[in-house]
Structure 1
Amino acid sequence: MYGFNPLDTMNAAFAGWRMAAEAQSVIVYRMMGMAGLWAVAPSENSRMISEKGPTLMAAQNAAMRKAISGGSAEEIYSAWLKPIGQKTRANQKRLAKRGFTHGCML
């Protein structure tokens, strides 16, 4: 098949798995924050809702631009995943720095 590179497929898959793992850790941090175990900002609950729309729109726009320009399936997926991955990575790093709340005995 012309232009097919299995490494492109693997790289796209690994990027998706990384994003999924980061998203799961963000969910855990936020749930621990809601339970009072993890130090999160008071605005975290509204932030987790308000960030979804703009991030998904950026992902859709990036994927559409790549598709219109004739990108492969892996390129379209990677373009779609990039804004989402950037957001999950930033959230994971930010929340990981917060730490347990004072008085948490875990």
Structure 2
Amino acid sequence: MSYGVLDFSALRTPMLLWQQMAQMAWEAQMVIALRTAGMMGVLRQDHSEPHRMVLEKADAATEAMQAALRAAGRGERADRVMAAALRPYRRRTRANVRRLSRKA
């Protein structure tokens, strides 16, 4: 990179990671709202939903840690390690929004 010139390609990966994190945060808030409505009786919800929401946190944390360690072990850059760790959480929040909103 020459001085005085901004390299926009260097910003692409962090921006994509930020976008994925923002999308996951939005979906997580939707999941919280849908589960809260279910616990209040406003929406229909399986009786096992509270148990499921606790168990999935531990499973996602384990998967995220393993993915991050695998990526770091391969010598990936920090943003790719973070993206690998984010993937299991993102997959679960997306699936939860779909599943819970279908019942709404």
TM-score, normalised on structure 2? 0.89
Which stretches in structure 2 are left out of the alignment for 5+ residues? 2-8
Instruction: Check if 1:73 corresponds to 2:78.
Output: yes
* Paired position in structure 2 for 1:57: 62
Shift of 1:73: 1.4
Identity of aligned residues (%): 36
Shift of 1:96: 0.5
Residues in 2 aligned to 1:71 and 1:93: alpha-carbon distance in whole angstroms: 32
What root-mean-square deviation, in Å, do the aligned CA atoms of Structure 1 and Structure 2 show? 1.2
Post-superposition Cα deviations, 1:8-41, rounded to whole Å, max 9, x if no partner, equal: 0000000001111101100000000010001111
Residues in 2 aligned to 1:74 and 1:39: alpha-carbon distance in whole angstroms: 39
TM-score, normalised on structure 1? 0.88
3-state secondary structure, aligned to 1:5: helix
Picking from 81, 87, 99, the partner of 1:94 is 99
Give every structure 1 segment of 4 or more consecutive aligned residues whose post-TM-superposition deviation is greater than 2 Å: none
Shift of 1:5: 2.0
Instruction: Check if 1:41 corresponds to 2:46.
Output: yes
How many residues of Structure 1 are paired with residues of Structure 2 in the alignment? 97
